[in-house]
Every structure is written in structure tokens, then in C-alpha cells.
Structure 1
């Protein structure tokens, strides 16, 4: 087999969100569309997802969740609203800016989720990232979310995380203004996290992809564009005769749309999960034209454990 130009981890996020998401991700894995999954341990179908990963030998990591549904550790007063639910993607960020979150409770919740992952799967996470990119957030006077996250990874010897800095993000014409603004902040938070993760010996692929190809923006041409950026942003030539392959992660959310009142992390499925975008991603990722593109461009799908 020729040397690949790109070693690509295609990670199906939100595994465990609902039975239809689980089935879609398994179908996508079996068709060669994803190579790795990220488990929401506080989701309603997490146990089923862990069993499916075991049955089908799907490489699985932890999608640490500080923003959606019910926390694993209770009580977690500063992390939750008056109804006991985590504060949501923007609510978590707003509480962080106001200094209302206890970093000790952040740490306790992350460690509780790692323990639950062990209980569900029988092994440590092969990688760990943050649902809605919470793992790169700042906050606190002395300790930040990213510092707590990095320490938990280091303590549990989880070698890989995600650094969501996507080449081509700012030149993507398909993103509406509100998403462009949010992704720009995610990118800045991620850049600010690099030194923290390096200090703890945590690794991540050379290139991250996925913000510009989510949902209705996913298509074979858009994925080809993203892969072009990955190849252009590859490692410098090695001193030896062979140039090393670029390593990259593509974040995806395939599945079948959640049914009303079925799924979520304790408070029901959100609009994103109930939309047709899930099935669109599933269809594109399994499209023979995309798999043929991988072959032509020298892209080999793999898991974090293969990097």
C-alpha cells in the first residue's frame, strides 16, 4: 500500500445522543464514512452506544459535556440552572465570563465523566474533546477551563484532544455572520489553549476540519476544499527521503434525525439533532464519490490510536 498523504481521523460526535443517532453513526462506520466516535456519557442512549462500539470494534473517546443536559456529578450547583440542567452552549460561556462557575466543580464533573466512560466501555478514553468546544475555554482568576481539562487528561493518561483551528475558516463563503463570529471566538480560544495542552504533553492532529462542513454545508466539493487546506497546511519536508503524512481530524455529526422527545442528555433532543442535517452528513460521508476522492488524494482513514 502506498504511503498516504493524509492520515484522517473522521470523528462522529455525540455518540449516545439517541438510538437513531447511534444507528446512523454505526451505519456510517460500516460504510467507511467515519473511523472514530466521541461518546456523550450523560446522553440517554450512552449505554447502547458503548455496547455498539464494543460489538463493532469502533474506536471510541469521550465527548466531555459541560453544557447540555444533566450533569453526571451531583450536586454541581454552579454548572446548572434552577432546574438542575447544565446551562447550555452560550449560558455556560456567559456564566464563565461573569465568574459564576466553580473550577473545582468543572474538575469534579470532568472526572466523573471519565469514570462513567470507564464503566460503560471497560477502558479509558482513547481521546477526549469538549462538546460545543467547552474544553478550550478560559475563565477563572487563576484557573481556566482549559487548564482543568488538560490536567484531567494528563492525570488519566488520555493522549489526544481536539484543537479546533480550521484552515480556510475565514475564507469560507457559506457561513452566516453569527456562526462566523462564534467560530472566530472558538478559534481564538483554541489558539490560546495550545501552550496549555503542550505543557501537559497532550497531542492533537496537525490539522482540524469540520466547522465549515457541518450540516447543510457538507458536500463532496466542500469536503474536497477542506482536504485541500489540510494538504496545504501539512508538515514541513522531513530530513529523510519520505515526507511524513499530514495528520488531520474531521469533526462530523452523522445520524438519522432524532424523534421528538427521544434523545438528548436529559432535557430532550435539540433542533440540530432533529433536523435533516444529520442524515445529509450521513449520506455525504458514505457517498462513493467521497470515498473515491480519498483514494485519489491519498487519504487514509484511521483512529487516534493510529497516529
Structure 2
């Protein structure tokens, strides 16, 4: 008997576990999801407390790994920026998710220092993993912010890091369950991401056709919400801006990235990027994502919809 031929995938999906390295319990949750087949890629926070352990785990389990560039949480990697730089407050910590954005709006951030820190993080990533990142995105979406996006694109182009993330999610505006403050933040992220597209294109940087993950974070992750996200992705279809492989029937394969944040809840004193773990990381939301991503019915949904999980290098 000849083996059954796998049907042509309709979608190649990179499921990226963000914040790898945040703490040992986060690392364990991400590895468990990878081994169960629920994630296919990770983004490493190199300034986090368990970054070295995370890099070693990626090597041991052969997990495709990229860089989660961080300009908003913890301490800079570049030593010359750890005191008296525009990127840190009087305690030597980054300004935070909203603090970074406010400082940027007030023109208080030096882009040369942003560039120095991004390059230092890539250098540390290479020391930890032995190779360049396969992709590079931004913790808390800082990479698509005005001015930062130009510096970010320049660094990726110089170092020949091919892929990034463009967080524009189809179906974002039909999610009544999202609280107003989150909806406002996500809408701003989407606007910044749209404005980044011409910049990233100019530097020859690539990204999947479709991005998913804002509407399926934490307790909002469920089989129905992931199914809804996939159907929005199929409707959005392949963009003309990125190259998609075509199947035998000339149906272009949709390429997509699903951002996820699995992990077991952090111990209060253990983890983070210098200031200890945040509330989200100590909450049950992370563990909920682990259980959803390991759920056999999710893997069955992928098979049914002909979704093939892969890494960025396979797109």
C-alpha cells in the first residue's frame, strides 16, 4: 500500500510563544506546548532572568527561535545605557509599556540609543544561541512605533534578519468581549503597524500575510475563538505584498503568525527582566493558554482546516 498523501495545506501557520526566558515556569510551559505540537516557534527576551536557560532549552529541543526585542521592560542589555540614558528612568529601568510610548510622544527618546540597545540585544542573542535570530519582533509591539520602526528596520536589514511581525489582525474590530482600554490599545497598535508597512517594505523585510493573537490572549483563548481567528485569516487571504507559495490547484497558501503567551504562573519573586514578574505572568491566564495549546481538539482543528504549523524559515 502506498502511504496516504498529505493534502496541500491551505495555511502555513507560525505559532510563536512570546516572552521565552521570562522565568523558569514560563520556559517550561512553552517547551511543553512545543512538545505537544501546539507552538512552532519562540521569541526570546534576552534581558530576562531565565534567558540563558531558555536558549539552552531551545537548543536541546530544536525549537526555532527569534528575538523579542525589548525596550520597555527591565534593564537595558547595553551597559553604556544602564545609567543616564533616555531609555531608562531614575531607577535604571526601561519606562514601561505606556511610559515608553509617552516618552516617545514627548520626543524624549534618543533613536541612536534605541539602535545601540537593539544591536546589543542581537549580539547577546547570538552569544546565547550561537546564531542570528530567524525573526525579530518587539516586546509590547514597540518595534512598530513611530521613529523606532525606522531604526528597527535598519538593524534588521544590516544584520540580514529576514522576518518581523506586523500586528494588523483581521476581525479585531468585531470583538465585543475585549475591554475598552484593551480595544483602544490594540487599535493604536494596528495603526502603528499599518504605518510601519511602507518602512519595512523599503528595507526588504518580510512578514506573514496575516497576523493573529490580540483577540485570543489569556482567557480569550478558546477553540471557538481560535477557529474564528483562522476563518478571518482565510478570508483576509494572502497579501500581494508578500510571496506566498501556490498549490497545485493554484490556490495560494495563506501564511500567518499566531502570537501566544503560554506558561505556568511565575513565582512572585522569580522572573521578569529586573523588576520581578508582572501580574499577567503570575496569573492563571498563562496556564489557560498552555492547556488550550496542548488540547488535542485544537490540533484536530488544524488538521481539519489543513493548517500546517511551521517556523518562519519554512514560509
Q: TM-score, normalised by structure 2?
A: 0.94
Q: What CA distance in whole angstroms lies between the structure 2 residues aligned with 1:241 and 1:210?
A: 29
Q: Partner of 1:108: helix, strand, or coil?
A: helix
Question: Is 2:126 the partner of 1:123?
Answer: no
Which residues of 2 match residues 199-214 of structure 1 at below 5 A? 199-214=202-217
Question: Is 2:251 the partner of 1:246?
Answer: no
1:239 Cα deviation after fit: 10
Q: What CA distance in whole angstroms lies between the structure 2 residues aligned with 1:33 and 1:186?
A: 26
2:24 to 11, 19, 23: 19
Residue segments in structure 2 that go unaligned for 5+ positions in a row: 1-5
1:173 Cα deviation after fit: 1.6
Which contiguous aligned blocks of 4+ residues in structure 1 show a shift greater than 3 angstroms?
236-241
Q: What CA distance in whole angstroms lies between the structure 2 residues aligned with 1:261 and 1:124?
A: 31
Question: Is 2:68 the partner of 1:60?
Answer: no
Question: Is 2:304 the partner of 1:296?
Answer: yes
1:174 Cα deviation after fit: 1.4
1:241 Cα deviation after fit: 3.6
1:240 Cα deviation after fit: 7.2
1:261 to 252, 260, 269: 269
Q: Which residue of 2 aligns with 1:278?
A: 286
Q: What CA distance in whole angstroms lies between the structure 2 residues aligned with 1:292 and 1:263?
A: 34
1:95-146 superposed Cα distances (whole Å, 9 cap, x missing partner): 00001000000000000000000000000000000000000000xxxxx100
Q: What CA distance in whole angstroms lies between the structure 2 residues aligned with 1:193 and 1:215?
A: 27
Q: What CA distance in whole angstroms lies between the structure 2 residues aligned with 1:31 and 1:116?
A: 29
Change (3 A) 1:86 1:291: same
Q: What CA distance in whole angstroms lies between the structure 2 residues aligned with 1:210 and 1:58?
A: 20
Q: What CA distance in whole angstroms lies between the structure 2 residues aligned with 1:242 and 1:16?
A: 41
2:181 to 172, 178, 183: 178
Q: What CA distance in whole angstroms lies between the structure 2 residues aligned with 1:38 and 1:267?
A: 20
Q: Is the 8 A contact 2:261 2:286 kept in 1?
A: yes
Q: Is the 8 A contact 2:219 2:288 kept in 1?
A: yes
Q: TM-score, normalised by structure 1?
A: 0.97
Q: What CA distance in whole angstroms lies between the structure 2 residues aligned with 1:24 and 1:201?
A: 34
1:244 Cα deviation after fit: 1.9
Q: Is the 8 A contact 2:8 2:247 kept in 1?
A: no
Q: Which residue of 1 aligns with 2:3?
A: none
1:24-78 superposed Cα distances (whole Å, 9 cap, x missing partner): 0000000001000000000000000000000000000000000000100123210
Q: What CA distance in whole angstroms lies between the structure 1 residues aligned with 2:183 and 2:199?
A: 25
Q: Is the 8 A contact 2:23 2:271 kept in 1?
A: yes
Q: Which residue of 2 aligns with 1:141?
A: none
Q: Aligned Cα RMSD in Å?
A: 1.2
Q: Which residue of 2 aligns with 1:112?
A: 120
Q: Which residue of 2 aligns with 1:30?
A: 35
Q: What CA distance in whole angstroms lies between the structure 2 residues aligned with 1:74 and 1:95?
A: 21
1:151 to 150, 154, 163: 154
Residue segments in structure 1 that go unaligned for 5+ positions in a row: 139-143
Q: Which residue of 2 aligns with 1:188?
A: 191
Q: What CA distance in whole angstroms lies between the structure 1 residues aligned with 2:18 and 2:86?
A: 26
Change (3 A) 1:98 1:225: same
Question: Is 2:80 the partner of 1:75?
Answer: yes
Q: Partner of 1:211: helix, strand, or coil?
A: coil
Q: Partner of 1:153: helix, strand, or coil?
A: helix
Q: Is the 8 A contact 2:210 2:238 kept in 1?
A: no
Q: What CA distance in whole angstroms lies between the structure 2 residues aligned with 1:79 and 1:40?
A: 17
